[in-house]
Chains A and B, each alone.
Chain A
Amino acid sequence: MSESLTVTPGDIVREAAALRRSLDAGFREEVVTSLYGEVERITRRAVQDSGSGPLELDQRIDRVVTSRLFGLPLMLGILAVIFWLTIVGANVPSQMLATGFFWFEDLAAAWFTQLGVPWWVTGFVWHGVYRGLAWVISVMLPPMAIFFPLFTILEDLGYLPRVAFNLDYLFKRAGAHGKQALSMAMGFGCNAAGVIATRVIDSPRERLVAILTNNFVPCNGRFPTLIMLATIFVAAAFPPAVASLVAAGAVVGIVLVGVAFTLVVSWALSRTVLRGEASAFTLELPPYRRPAMARILYTSLIDRTLFVLWRAIVTAAPAGAVIWLLANISPGGVSLATRTADFLQPLGWAMGLDGVILLAYIIAIPANEIVVPTMLMVYMSQGMMTEMDSMDGLRALLVDQHGWTMLTAVNLMLFSLLHNPCATTIITIYKETLSAKWTAIGALMPLALGFIVTLFTAAVARAVFGF
């Protein structure tokens, strides 16, 4: 007993070091060698390998999928097809949902009025909260229900590690970890999920780089904005037959800009505040597996789609209420929404945007999904969020009535990539880093970049092209 009191951890470590010195210098190699020998012996006895068919097929596929020449173009092609299917497929169901929801809104509001409910209760409940929810569901549900299963199929198939393999070269050049490609890919679904996915990166430095840059890829909440802009401003100039293809191409282009920012900012971070070299890693390319369809549908529809939708609903309801209040409280005859938008107008103009867009981004901090509805609501000054019946109507509203130009559209796309992450992502960054400093940097750096880039493009566009 008395002896146990005298042994301190320090003693043990010192004793171990002394014993280590007394041992044969090669004892570690001996251990490793005997381990390898043992493993080989056991394997030889237990495994019978009679040549391999599918493995060779896998390797043949990999030779194309991960080749220097075809790897990246193939990846972009797959991405474009996914966006195209999402855009084309989501259009009709979105329209139907919107029609149904807004039909019910009118019905319910009329019913409230008949019952003698005060106008402001009807407005707040049906034209505020309910309309916010209806917008978010009809805009987000169809694209997600298409995008997430397609993405999950790629994941289940084993394509994601190949993407990481293809991009490793670029990330390494940027001083970042090749597995950042994986967390980036998850970011397309949801940036908060992307931030969590950075846990696959061991080195704290490279993990921070991955966390801070995850927001540069547009998440699912931001795609509807990008798709809308691509459809009315870019694709409108083309014949209808190819319009959706062009729109998909434009979205891929924006995604590429996002990836470029990811790489450039990773590079800049690796050379300044997070200085260091990229570490080597092994990434197994798993065999291609036939996706389990039932499970994919379950995972992507229940776990992913409904989860993201639920989050959007939870934030859209209060946001809808706030929007309604801002638009309907009018001290001195001018609504709070208009006053704030006017106040933000000079900055908005300098950025090639306007005050209303900036106001929408402030209200949409909890969830990026409601940027467009907020914007439209203030524009329409109807005191409620608005669903436009067609893309033509939307275009007429933005271009003819509110002076949008190509510059507005391009800079809004850029600002949609480059601004603060949504509240959920910010909270997730804090939970993962447990550091207020890095959380603040993660939130403010993209925003600062957004200001710089849009101020710059607006100035250039005005000086050179006379916008």
Chain B
Amino acid sequence: MSVEHNCETCPVHAEMAQLGAAVGAFDHVVALAGNPNTGKSTLFNSLTGLRQHTGNWPGKTVTRAEGGFQFGGVRYKLVDLPGTYSLLSASDDEEVARNFLLFGRPDCTVVVVDASALERNLYLVLQVLEITDRVVIAVNLMDEAKRRGIAVDTRSLARDLGVPAIPVVARTGENMMALLGEVAAVASGEAVTQPLRSKGTAAFEHAVSKLVPMIEAAAPGVPNARWIAIRLLDGDVPVEEALASGRLAELVVRQQKPDARFSRKIALQGAQ
């Protein structure tokens, strides 16, 4: 957040390149999360040059799609996650999104929010912030919000959430360079965020602190042990099952490989 970008004149502007599906070697992984129908796929397409099918109805993206782009000499792999309202319940698409954020260890997660329905979108934002620090908020559909007489103060939003928040219009590509600038800074660790996290009661924090070392011991390499501890305290059955069956460790490995089984389906779906 400390990094200033004057993007139209910035030399990296010319260095943005769409890499399509041929990601190959990449330096950073960027995840795209957000509520359904906020324009994630549109943003994905405009960054990667791919043609993931977009449509004005929620649930269009049903599994993660991957593509690549280059910005400022750095190669990024971009992963478009299915749109979800939360990361808590156990529906398929929420699990895809949540597993990737937890175990795919993206270097930066862009949460796309609908400027005209900010309040509803923020629930997901706060849940993502519980999982990862490396978050940039893309406040999309600014044009639509403006038409409806809604103004969003992204500075205030960024201050409250503790992560960068950039107003964009994915459809026209407006302000995309500013967004990429923040993504680059967060992914490289240049910008340090201080995400808003709700502190529970003392008893709750105590319970969490008892579980975290146990989880780390049982499943070494698992990121976000705190998040898992909270889910366990909450009685989250899929998380319990993943832990009990040893899948937690397995998931860490699997999320880092491209999802080959799905990629062909995406190709077909993209065509339809």
Residues of A within 8 A of B (CB): 3-4, 7-13, 15-17, 19-20, 22-24, 27-28, 30-31, 34-35, 38-43, 45-55, 152, 155-158, 160-161, 164, 179, 182, 186, 189-190, 192-193, 196-197, 199-200, 202, 282-284, 286-287, 289, 292, 295, 298-299, 303-304, 307, 428, 431
Contact = CB atoms under 8 A, between A and B. Distances in A.
Nearest to A1: B217
B158 to A, nearest CB: 9
A38 B198 contact: yes
Given A7-B217, A45-B160, A156-B56, A39 B126 contact: yes
A136 to B, nearest CB: 18
B22 interface: no
Interface in B88-133: 91-93, 116, 118-119, 122-123, 126
A359 to B, nearest CB: 30
B59 interface: yes
Contacts of B56: 155-158, 160-161, 286, 289
Contact of A179 (B59, B126, B157): B59
Nearest to A34: B198
A221 to B, nearest CB: 13
Contacts of B7: none
B156 to A, nearest CB: 4
Given A12-B232, A54-B148, A190-B272, 11 more contacts: A16-B211, A16-B240, A19-B210, A27-B203, A38-B126, A39-B126, A40-B119, A47-B152, A48-B153, A193-B271, A196-B269
B4 interface: no
Contacts of A189: 272
B128 to A, nearest CB: 13
Interface string B137-148: 000000010011
B152 A299 contact: no
A28 B85 CA distance: 19
Contacts of B54: 295
B22 to A, nearest CB: 19
B157 A42 contact: yes
Nearest to A10: B244
Given A19-B211, A155-B57, A193-B269, A46 B154 contact: yes
Nearest to B36: A284
A9 B119 contact: no
A345 to B, nearest CB: 38
Nearest to B150: A49
B168 interface: no
A284 B265 contact: no
A46 B157 contact: yes
A304 B272 contact: yes
Contacts of A286: 37, 56-58
Contacts of B58: 161, 200, 283-284, 286
Contact of B149 (A8, A43, A52, A283): A52
Contacts of A17: 235
Given A54-B147, A193-B272, A202-B91, A13 B244 contact: yes
- Listed from nearest, the 3 A-B pairs whose CB atoms lie closest are A193-B272, A199-B62, A200-B59
B9 interface: no
Contacts of A16: 211, 229, 232-233, 240
Given A10-B244, A38-B126, A50-B151, A182 B203 contact: no
A40 B118 CA distance: 10
Interface string B42-55: 00000000010111
Contacts of B232: 12-13, 16
9 contacts: A16-B240, A38-B196, A39-B122, A46-B153, A46-B157, A50-B150, A155-B57, A289-B144, A304-B271
Given A20-B235, A23-B233, A199-B62, A12 B152 contact: no
A15 B147 contact: no
A193 to B, nearest CB: 3
B270 A160 contact: no
Contacts of B171: 292
Given A31-B198, A51-B149, A182-B59, A196 B116 contact: no
Nearest to B85: A282
B10 interface: no
A46 B211 contact: no
B215 interface: yes
